[in-house]
């Protein structure tokens, strides 16, 4: 009786629940068990598929999060590169500015050195001119203290006041002999004149 009631209930449920079936199917208790088992397997399969889909979606979500993280890292990297580029440009501009200032200082230093060298050269030239004038004056003064003897052609004897001598021995010997002879004559004449003035006798001369 219970089996018949279950069969009738399932038949009505099947008939009214699945209106697309154009005929009624009479199922026994064993057939109902098979249908329930099949439905269970289907539900389990759908659940397994749902879990797999969930796992796939979670995997995709993790991949998307990873990509978002990579994108964020890439954005930070790009921002870092942009900051580095801006810093590099700033450093280059500062270096160029310092290079210009250094070149300006070098040019100014070169001008000052050139001006100083010109002033020093002018000062040295003036001092050199003064020294040359003094040397020429000393040379003229020294020439006034020199004695020149021309006993022979192209022969000059200079007796310097500082004791140095540039002499020709032949000329010196001739000059000394002549000088001694003249000196002897002068002394002899002086003696005669003195004797005459003392004795009053001119016959001696």
User: What's the mean pLDDT in 60-89?
Assistant: 79
State the angle between helix axes of 29-144 and 2-17 in degrees (0 to 180), rounded to the nearest 10.
Answer: 50
Gap between the Cα atoms of 99 and 135, Å rounded: 52
Q: Which long-range contacts (CB under 8 A, 24 or more apart) does 137-141 make?
A: none
User: What's the mean pLDDT in 21-25?
Assistant: 41
User: What's the mean pLDDT in 97-101?
Assistant: 87
Residues contacting 23, CB < 8 A, separation 6+: none
Q: Tokens 């001696």 appear where?
A: 204
**Model confidence pLDDT, tens digit, residues 166-201:** 444 555 556 666 777 777 777 777 777 776 666 665
β-bridge partners, 166: 158
- Ordered by start, the domain boundaries in the chain are 2-117, 146-205
Average per-residue pLDDT in the chain? 68
């Amino acid at each position: 009786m219970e089996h018949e009631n279950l069969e009738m209930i399932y038949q009505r449920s099947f008939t009214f629940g699945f209106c697309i079936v154009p005929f009624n199917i009479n199922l026994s208790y064993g057939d109902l068990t098979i249908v329930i088992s099949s439905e269970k397997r289907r539900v389990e399969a759908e659940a397994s598929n749902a879990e797999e889909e969930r796992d796939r979606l979670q995997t995709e979500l993790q991949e998307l999060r990873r990509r978002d993280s990579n994108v964020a890292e890439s954005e930070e990297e790009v921002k870092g590169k942009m900051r580095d580029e801006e810093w590099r440009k700033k450093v280059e501009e500062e270096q160029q500015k310092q290079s210009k200032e250094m070149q300006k200082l070098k040019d100014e230093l070169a001008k000052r050195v050139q001006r100083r060298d010109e002033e020093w050269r002018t000062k040295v030239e003036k001092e050199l001119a003064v020294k040359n004038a003094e040397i020429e004056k000393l040379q003229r003064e020294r020439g006034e203290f020199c004695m020149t003897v021309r006993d022979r052609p192209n022969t000059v004897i200079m007796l310097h006041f500082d004791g140095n001598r540039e002499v020709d021995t032949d000329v010196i010997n001739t000059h000394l002999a002549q000088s001694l002879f003249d000196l002897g004559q002068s002394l002899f004449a002086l003696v005669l004149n003195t004797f005459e003035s003392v004795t009053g006798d001119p016959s001696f001369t």
